[in-house]
Amino acid sequence: MRRVIVDTDTAGDDTQALALAVLTDRLSVEAVTVVAGNVPFDRQVENAKYTLSLVDAADTPVYEGARSPLVKSHEHATEIHGEGGLGGDLHPETGIDSAAGFAPEEIVARCRESPGEITLLCIGPLTNLALAHAREETMLDLVDEVWVMGGAVESRGNVTPAAEFNVWADPDAAKRVTDAFDVTLVDWGLCLRTALGPDRLEDIDAMDTDLADFFGEVTKVVRDRGEADGLDGITQPDGLTAALLAYPELRERVETHPVEVDEREGLTRGYTSVDFEGVTGEPADTAVVEAADGERFAEVMLRMLRERDPDGVFE
């Protein structure tokens, strides 16, 4: 069982990743840290606590982190996730207290306490991790792995033609993290190629479970408006990232390349430059998941929503 801290800007697909990370026996979620991103910060905190309560993990500590990007301002993604992040109509007030302490400091403290044993699953902007690294420059040696949902490697972005939301929202943090850590990257293009199609969505709609109902609620806005690039179906970027971490069986091709993030303001803000040909001479220290088993990923999601047993796909 891999020990994990989930760093999230909790909205629609973040909730599914968090549920999966809790329900699989392959991961042990030791803490959740919240970062500025998808929707107003306090709503993200409540969304995380509410999701944890749905999967009987309300005792998992939730730490509040950066309430804004390092340098630049950003806009929320309510047009995808709805006001509040859970489809627009669900605004939970759990009454659960946040854990004491600032998320970046807690990330550092837990990694110092168990060096080399904790993996960071980063499914929002990378501000918290950048701040953790600023506090502890040896973080690279203290973490096990760093998995990041972010970037647009071989596709158009989803917030600008050049950039995916998580990297665009805090490009300065993304640059610092990709420069400092050996990251495993799950990008927007891979998410498009492994999207849940209409047949899978019909299967979910036909389920009579609380998690399937929750999935329907949090994906309502994006299903009504249509996904990017005219996709017939919807993506689950954060759920895919969690699944790829938990289940190596889903990884079909992972290649290591030099990666640079353009942190400058302007047309290419948040652009993720991947040097496939090695022309820059920079070290190849970012593992990019270039292909994944979309059919089995869909089975993982359906099994989780129907039976709360995502591991059953591999038994």
Instruction: Output the six-digit token pair for 103.
Output: 């998320």
> Are the beta carbons of 110 and 5 closer than 8 angstroms?
yes
Q: Average pLDDT, stretch 9-22?
A: 97
Give me the pLDDT at residue 277, please: 93
Give me the pLDDT at residue 225, please: 83
Q: What is the pLDDT confidence band of residue 232, given thresholds at 50, 70 and 90?
A: confident
Give me the pLDDT at residue 241, please: 98
Positive or negative: CA dihedral 245, 209, 235, 50: negative
Give me the pLDDT at residue 247, please: 98
Q: Average pLDDT, stretch 55-62?
A: 98
Q: CA 232, CA 197: separation in Å to the nearest integer?
A: 6
Q: What's 170's domain CATH number?
A: 3.90.245.10
Q: By residue range, what is the domain housing residue 240?
A: 2-314
The yes-or-no verdict on residue 168 having pLDDT over 70 is yes
Q: What is the pLDDT confidence band of residue 224, given thresholds at 50, 70 and 90?
A: confident
The yes-or-no verdict on residue 151 having pLDDT over 90 is yes
pTM exceeds 0.85 for this model? yes
Q: CA 112, CA 198: separation in Å to the nearest integer?
A: 45
> Are the beta carbons of 172 and 263 closer than 8 angstroms?
yes
Q: How far is CA 197 from CA 209, 219, 233, 234, 256, in A?
A: 20, 13, 4, 7, 29
Q: Which of 3-7, 201-205, 224-228 has the lowest mean pLDDT?
A: 224-228
The yes-or-no verdict on residue 229 having pLDDT over 80 is no
Q: How many CB atoms lie within 10 A of CB 248?
A: 9
Q: Average pLDDT, stretch 177-194?
A: 97
Q: Which of 62-71, 85-94, 304-313 has the lowest mean pLDDT?
A: 85-94
Q: Average pLDDT, stretch 63-91?
A: 94
Q: How far is CA 78 from CA 5, 93, 168, in A?
A: 25, 19, 16
Give me the pLDDT at residue 154, please: 85
- Look at the chain and report how many structural domains it folds into: 1
Residue whose tokens read 């392959």: 26
Give me the pLDDT at residue 208, please: 96
Average pLDDT, the chain: 96
SS3 167: helix
Exposed e or buried b for every residue in 163-194, given b needs 16+ CB within 10 A?
A: bbbbbbbbbbbbbbbbebbebbbbbbbbbbbb
Q: Average pLDDT, stretch 170-180?
A: 98
Q: Average pLDDT, stretch 293-304?
A: 98
Measured at the alpha carbon of residue 210, what is the angle toward residues 207 and 214, in degrees to the nearest 5? 95
Give me the pLDDT at residue 228, please: 66
Give me the pLDDT at residue 227, please: 74
